[in-house]
Amino acid sequence: MSSGTTVPAPADPAPKRAGFVGLGLMGAPMAANLLKAGWQVKGWNRSPGAVRALEGLGGTGVDSVTDLRDEPVLIFMLPDLPFIEEAAAGLLEAWREVPPAPGTLVVVMSSVSPVGVRAFASTVADASNGNASVLDAPVSGGTDGARRGTLAIMTGGSEQDFRRILPALEAMGSSVRLLGDLGAGSLAKACNQLIVGTTTAALAEAAELADRSGMDVHALFEVLSGGLAASRVLELVGPRLAAKDYTPTGPAKFMYKDLSFVLESAGTAGTAAPMASAGVNLYAEVVAQGLGDLDLAAVRQAIATMGTA
């Protein structure tokens, strides 16, 4: 019998168990789709009602994130990296005492800073004695895509880790790509948000201009959808803009955060970002007007208020 510290067995190369942290508008249906695909899911959320709902679908609720320390895969779907760092603090302390199994994967599916997620990965590697690695895999597609399992998932990390987590990602999304090393997924999401945020703002501006000029916004968007201005953003957000329906599907305040990541990345890359700069200022105004918790389409209300100021 050998003496010394017991080395944990390697994590299952094709794990079917996952811990899921953050069961909100996006996280709850994503976790539900993992369950449908045959995964065993243990979930934590700050509000217990979401945990009970997961249990009703066949998942298992836990009282703290630290209770997920032995899971081979841990998925985080919280608003931003500081929330993830706070939620994971106890978990990382537990790993410092007893490291997790080699090959443990921490998957950050929130929209976070590409720079910040690399720093977080260093913290995870240090706390886990190198046994856990991080992938960033932010998503696009909104709550409808989360429910339908048709999210676009943009991933950064090692190819080996990506292939191990691919079955889980494919249970939640229909377009899944590895785009480069860690941070590449978050940079891709920043680019996605640059397009979505500025396109939504342009549509909102067009809607307000048309409305105040006596034009039917629904009719305008219908005809635009048949021309070069057609886009997925127009298809999905256009009806909400035309109806002034600001029921949250994705809070507008997150766009301000995400466009700030574009500026951060542009500074690192040494490239100009005039559209992102304009977008950050506009969505800062959305937040300043108290509209940040409403849907992204609330940018139209912000523009309307600006026009009457």
CATH code, 97: 3.40.50.720
Task: Indicate the helix (H) or strand (E) that contains 287.
Answer: helix 274-288
**50/72 Cα distance (integer angstroms):** 22
Q: What is the DSSP secondary-structure string of 1-53?
A: ---SPPPPPPPPSS--EEEEE--STTHHHHHHHHHHTT-EEEEE-SSHHHHHH
User: Is 189 marked active-site?
Assistant: yes
**What is the tally of structural domains in the chain?**
2
- Is residue 57 domain-shared with residue 170, that is, in the same domain? yes
Q: Supply the pLDDT for residue 14.
A: 55
Tell me the mean pLDDT in the region 188-205.
Answer: 97
**Last residue of a domain, which of 181, 210, 229?**
181
How would residue 250 be classed by pLDDT, with cut points 50, 70 and 90? confident
- 131 within some domain: yes
Report pTM: 0.87
- One domain for residues 210 and 119: no
Domain containing 145 equals 17-181
Q: How far is 134 from 122, CA to CA, in rounded Å?
A: 9
- Among residues 181, 197, 223, the one where a domain terminates is 181
**Contact of 55 with 61, CB cutoff 8 Å:** yes
Q: Which residues are paired to 189 by β-bridges?
A: none
Residue 4: pLDDT above 60? no
User: Can you say whether residue 40 is alpha, beta or left, with left for phi > 0 and alpha for psi between -120 and 50 degrees?
Assistant: beta
- What pLDDT shows up at residue 7? 44
Choosing from 189, 244, 253, 257, the catalytic residue is: 189
Q: What percent of the chain is predicted at pLDDT more than 70?
A: 95
Length in residues, the chain: 309
In the chain, the percentage of residues whose pLDDT exceeds 90 is 92
Q: Which of 181, 216, 247 is the last residue of a domain?
A: 181
pLDDT tier at 308, thresholds 50, 70, 90: confident
